[in-house]
Structure 1
Amino acid sequence: MDALRAGSRPLTMTYSPARPVNLRQTVGPLLRGQHEPTMRFTANGFWRVFLTPCGPATLHAEERGGSIAATAWGEGAEWVLDALPELLGRGDDWSELDLSRVPPLAEVRRQHPGLWLTSTSLVFEVLVPAILEQKVTTLEARRAWRYLVLKYGQVPPGPAPEGMRVQPSPREWQLIPSWEWHRAGVGPERSRAVLAAAAVAAGLDRLCAGGAGGAGGARLVEGVLEKLQSVRGIGPWTAAETSQRSHGHPDAVSVGDYHLAAHVGWVLIGEPVDDAGMLELLEPWRGHRQRVVRLILASGVAKPRFGPRATIQDHRWH
């Protein structure tokens, strides 16, 4: 265990949601691989470290008989506990999602009643790893994320598992030397996009002020996609991946993903499609398209492996 930070006193709370919550399925999209430095899953819960507006925080959440027992440490402990219900999908309303036309998807939802869209209420912290995933393989992106966070992140408060780190602050991202981006395998386009986002990080995080819950939430967060794309280097895919996590955006579709369109096509019609075909298939569920995508991914139906795989390129030493 990392040493306790001096003066870090834990705060605790018990959250009793009004409906089932599957912790792993709900917050799972925040995990970037088995060796994610900002998050760990346990048998009944998870650890996650945050850089909140109030300072760094460590959160441990664990399911206990239908309730969630949570403990938080650090300057941002109170902020994290206040944000816990939204993190666990409290604002996510599936009541108007009609799956009657596709009984297999309705069955997936029946089998996974505790799957909800998470909302971190923090934009910049989920934007950076999304930028690092632009146009590279998952392996490359996770390698770069882990390298940079372990080297430039700070030791989290409280008894976080060994090796966890709070990701760098916007200013700390800006101070990373160019050769370290190169060593991490991050090309100039992605590093410039991180720096552009860091320069406006405070404004990006203010986009979470209204939340995303309820029927009006979908309309509210539509503007988030546009505002994210106003940052240099942020396109539709990155904006969607970010808003899905920061706002629990119920309709954001990751157009441009290397695998997603083919997966959606295979599950819905038994054959792969391109992005245009995916959007056409999802159109009947406009307003809920991300929820449908999450059900497709939770279905356990794997698309056949067809076509060439992406080639992993190592930019670190060229």
Structure 2
Amino acid sequence: MTASTTIELPFSPPYEREKAIALIAAHAVPGSERVDLQGLSVTRIMGAPSGPVAVRVELGTRSVTTTISSGEPSDVEAVASLVRAWLDLDLDPSTITDAFGRDPILGPMVTARPGLRVIGHPDGYEAAITTVLGQQVSLLSARTFSGRLVAAFGEPGPDSLLLFPRPNVLASVSTDELQRAIGLTGARTRTLQAVARACAEGLTLTPTVDLVETRASLLSIVGVGPWTADYLAVRALGDRDAYPAGDLVLRRALGVSTAGEAERIAEPWRPLRSYALIHIWTSAAFS
């Protein structure tokens, strides 16, 4: 029987738990992640020193209860670090209130949701692949594509979950086979494989990387544009000033038509523009 470890990861309240779980659910990969909206919990596989482990996180009012399918201290330490970054547990919410509370655009949003966090991703490579799958399609379609990808190329993992196919797997499968399995266009399939190949060859997408170099590496991949690179900076690289100015929802919410205009409006929001982005997106989704 596999040993498991449960730890409490504290944070500074408030925390918009329902919004966090709703966002995770909207992007959850069928077969690889289980989300309980009522229980405010997520179960997924994470990489650890001993190998893939199943991790269940449950958002409480002052801490995140985290259960790991391992008793190894190194696994517990690694997962704790991943979860803290993923769920933005180190944020002091007063930092955002102080920064944006009097802003004419963001002030009312921050007052309404003072505990909103930037929800990242515990696996940057997986975030990159699912982001490519979601380019120019609905969230529902993106989840359908990611579910097909995992069903076709994933392997059985802990807790009856499927392992998300690793970079070398997607890089080595034929383009035609990959396209048939997922139902993508040829161009999108080639971008998917190019991202997987780059990651297999050493591209790392974590909060510890050089942001400028990594963004340049992403933009050098055919089919990866500024929106994708900036979105991954928010969710995978932990860049709290990342800001995909060309995003359609963002521009509509700001009442502008160009990325340049969105950039100019956001200048006072540096160096926390990713929090401004999340507040604007959330307000647009739940207003």
Q: TM-score normalized by structure 2?
A: 0.81
Q: Separation in 2 of the partners of 1:297 and 1:126?
A: 18
**Residue from 23, 36, 39 that aligns with 2:33:** 39
Q: How does 1:175-194 map to 2 (within 5 A)?
A: 175-177=172-174, 178-194=176-192
CA contact (8 A) 1:170 1:198 kept: yes
Query: 1:248-279 CA deviation, whole Å, 9 max, x = no partner?
Result: 322222344343321332xxxxxx53333322
Q: Separation in 1 of the partners of 2:156 and 2:19?
A: 27
Q: Secondary structure at the match of 1:41?
A: strand
1:240 is displaced (CA, Å) by 1.5
1:69 to 2:65 alignment:
yes
Q: Separation in 1 of the partners of 2:213 and 2:17?
A: 28
1:149 is displaced (CA, Å) by 1.4
CA contact (8 A) 2:149 2:181 kept: no
The structure showing larger relative contact order (alpha-carbon pairs under 8 Å, at least 6 residues apart) is: 1
**Residue from 283, 289, 294 that aligns with 2:273:** 289
Q: How does 1:110-259 map to 2 (within 5 A)?
A: 110-120=111-121, 122-158=123-159, 164-177=161-174, 178-201=176-199, 203-205=202-204, 207-208=205-206, 210=208, 221-259=211-249
CA contact (8 A) 1:140 1:185 kept: no
Change (3 A) 1:48 1:9: same
1:168 is displaced (CA, Å) by 0.7
Query: 1:168-199 CA deviation, whole Å, 9 max, x = no partner?
Result: 11122224441341342212222222222222
Q: Separation in 2 of the partners of 1:302 and 1:18?
A: 24
- The runs of 5 or more residues in structure 2 that have no matched partner are none
1:33 is displaced (CA, Å) by 4.7
Q: Separation in 2 of the partners of 1:193 and 1:264?
A: 31
User: C-alpha root-mean-square deviation of aligned residues, in Å?
Assistant: 3.1
Aligned pairs, number: 278
| Aligned equivalent of 1:59 | 55
Q: Separation in 1 of the partners of 2:206 and 2:273?
A: 21
1:287 is displaced (CA, Å) by 2.2
1:101 is displaced (CA, Å) by 4.7
> Mean alpha-carbon deviation: is it higher for 280-289 or for 121-130?
280-289
Q: Separation in 2 of the partners of 1:77 and 1:260?
A: 38
Q: Separation in 2 of the partners of 1:181 and 1:27?
A: 31
CA contact (8 A) 2:28 2:35 kept: no
1:290 is displaced (CA, Å) by 1.9
Query: 1:5-38 CA deviation, whole Å, 9 max, x = no partner?
Result: xx53222211122333334434654444577443
Query: 1:60-92 CA deviation, whole Å, 9 max, x = no partner?
Result: 111345222110126995332332212221344
Q: Separation in 1 of the partners of 2:136 and 2:225?
A: 11
Question: Which amino acid letter does the alignment assign opposite residue 285 of structure 1?
Answer: W
1:100 is displaced (CA, Å) by 4.7
Question: Which amino acid letter does the alignment assign opposite residue 126 of structure 1?
Answer: A
Query: 1:88-111 CA deviation, whole Å, 9 max, x = no partner?
Result: 213446627632553462232233
Question: Which amino acid letter does the alignment assign opposite residue 15 of structure 2?
Answer: V
